[in-house]
Amino acid sequence: MPVMLVCASREDDPPGTVALVLRAARVLLLTVGVLAPVGLVGLVVAVLSGRAAARRLAWPRLVALLMRLGPTFVKAGQVLGTRRDLLPPGLCDELATLQDSVIPLTADRTREALAAVYGAELDTLFAEVDYEPVASGSVACVYRARLTSGREVALKLRRPGIERVMRQDLDLMRRGAALMARLPLFRGIPVMPVVVSMCDAVLGQLDFEREAASLDRLRADLSVVPRVWVPKVVPSACRPRCIVMEFIHGLDIDAPSRCSDASRRKFASSGLTAIYEMLFVNGFVHCDMHPGNLYFTESAQVVVLDAGFSVQLSERLRLLFADFFMNMAIGDGDKCAAIVVESSADVGADADVAGFLARMADLVRRSHGLPAREFSLIAFATEMFDLQRRHGIHAAPELIFPLLSLLVIEGTIRELDPDVDFQALARPVLMKGRFGSR
């Protein structure tokens, strides 16, 4: 279902009271219109077939509602879908299906937007621009262009008015979360910290100056990993609403299917090593490595794009993250369980810490004994988050988002190499991150 975007007249205008009230009314009407019938039908289904069946009915409707509400809610749903420590696994699975399916800007609208960004410099910087986008998302469209120097580049142009619309919606989410946090149903759940971290993650994807710096950082950090390519930014041509970077040819999600098994195994190794380098060595993590941002070319390169959703771990959390995986690699469940508690954002007053420690240690020991083909990061993380949720141990968002990078990439890596050993590949990078010079 394509998402239609509302364009504001001025990019940086804060959302006014009237606009906020009108938007709130529209969100409320859509929400009630979609969820009220689902609630009534759900009650009947719950009585006849149980609460699990009612939830299976409700979750897809909720995801459809987010699509109708627009790009901010889609982005928020994508981020919330990572919080398996707080939300039911079935709902997280549905939220993970959310995709940006957005109608691209017209050629005329793109010309207007570029003129607004560059002014008189447009013709002096660019010899030509192809106004047919090569990619279209909720925040930006990407175009092929050529600098006056002759260099071929990609322009990532932020949609006009999108910041105002998204800030308006995020303001509504914060207000709604503040109301929810007061309800008995949500007592003991860190509603506001979760929503605030989600809003920060969404807003971060609007900061193109930050994203350009993140691309430069990732390019430097991942230069040590064989066959990994992060596009080089052209700083002199970048502007606050447009990132200019080298254009990479041959980006095709089906490219691995045309490569040999040996090449596919190399892709899997390089892609996974890149994630480990981010997590365990540098602590600067690209958290959105889905197939639209991760490509494998026929020239044996692993291409990483779009660093808008990146997180910098504190040194303490980076070391705890590395220690957790290191102890997991040797099957020390007791140490892993203690690290999860130590790194948690909140331990509820009624938390069953002893019960969590025992069950978490058992999970690590069971997982350590599995053959590589049978070990699943998603299954492991789902069970771990379920244990945290049931025992009142709330994970820190700073750790959840980086872990997302591993969970998102697992399916892609498994397709490339079904026999890949996630734990074995991690060991040398863990040693480097924990004991090597940085």
Q: What is the dihedral of CA 204, 206, 212, 218, to 10 degrees?
A: 40
Helices (H), 145-303: 162-180, 191-204, 208-221, 261-276
What is the structure's pLDDT at 379? 83
φ, ψ (nearest 5 deg) of residue 73: -70, -30
Q: Distance between CA atoms of 237 and 245, rounded to whole angstroms?
A: 9
Among 41-50, 142-151, 251-260, the minimum mean pLDDT is found in 41-50
Q: Distance between CA atoms of 31 and 22, rounded to whole angstroms?
A: 14
Task: Reply yes or no on whether the pLDDT at 185 is more than 70.
Answer: no
- High-pLDDT (> 70) share of the chain, %: 92
**Spatial CB neighbours of 155, under 8 Å, sequence gap ≥ 6:** 114, 129, 142, 143, 144, 145, 242, 243, 244
- Mean pLDDT score across all residues of the chain: 84
Is 51 strand, coil or helix? helix
Under the banding of pLDDT at 50, 70 and 90, the label for residue 189 is: low
Q: Distance between CA atoms of 404 and 353, rounded to whole angstroms?
A: 24
User: What's the number of CA atoms in the CB half-sphere (13 Å) around residue 308?
Assistant: 24
Under the banding of pLDDT at 50, 70 and 90, the label for residue 188 is: low
- Bridge-based pairing of strands 152-158 and 302-304 is unpaired
What is the structure's pLDDT at 333? 93
- Bridge-based pairing of strands 228-229 and 302-304 is parallel
What is the structure's pLDDT at 6? 38
Task: Reply yes or no on whether the pLDDT at 83 is more than 70.
Answer: no
* Alpha-carbon distance values, 91 to 86, 177, 188 (Å): 11, 18, 20
Q: Distance between CA atoms of 39 and 32, rounded to whole angstroms?
A: 10
Per-residue pLDDT reduced to its tens digit, 225-258: 989 999 999 999 999 999 999 999 888 878 888 8
Q: Which residues of 114-142 are buried (b: 16+ CB within 10 A; e: fewer)?
A: beebbeeeeeebbeebebebebbbbbbbb
Task: Reply yes or no on whether the pLDDT at 82 is more than 50.
Answer: yes
Q: Given the residues 169, 288, 323, 332, select the one marked as catalytic.
A: 288
Under the banding of pLDDT at 50, 70 and 90, the label for residue 405 is: confident
Higher-pLDDT residue of 94 and 183 is 94
What is the structure's pLDDT at 335? 94
What is the structure's pLDDT at 101? 59
Q: Distance between CA atoms of 194 and 34, rounded to whole angstroms?
A: 25
> How confident is the model over 175-181, as a mean pLDDT?
82
Q: Distance between CA atoms of 212 and 113, rounded to whole angstroms?
A: 19
Are the C-beta atoms of 66 and 73 separated by less than 8 Å? Answer: yes
Token pair listed for 372: 């590589």
Q: How many residues does the chain have?
A: 438
Q: Distance between CA atoms of 302 and 230, rounded to whole angstroms?
A: 8
Helices (H), 14-148: 17-49, 51-69, 71-80, 89-95, 107-118, 122-125
What is the structure's pLDDT at 186? 66
Among 105-114, 155-164, 185-194, 275-284, the minimum mean pLDDT is found in 185-194
Task: Reply yes or no on whether the pLDDT at 281 is more than 90.
Answer: yes
What is the structure's pLDDT at 5? 43
Most confident among 70-74, 190-194, 302-306 (mean pLDDT): 302-306
Task: Reply yes or no on whether the pLDDT at 71 is more than 90.
Answer: no
288 is catalytic: yes
Question: Closest Cα to residue 422, out of 260, 414, 228?
Answer: 414
Q: Distance between CA atoms of 421 and 419, rounded to whole angstroms?
A: 6
Are the C-beta atoms of 405 and 275 separated by less than 8 Å? Answer: yes
What is the structure's pLDDT at 342? 87
Higher-pLDDT residue of 304 and 412 is 304
Task: Reply yes or no on whether the pLDDT at 2 is more than 50.
Answer: no
> How confident is the model over 375-404, as a mean pLDDT?
80
What is the structure's pLDDT at 407? 77
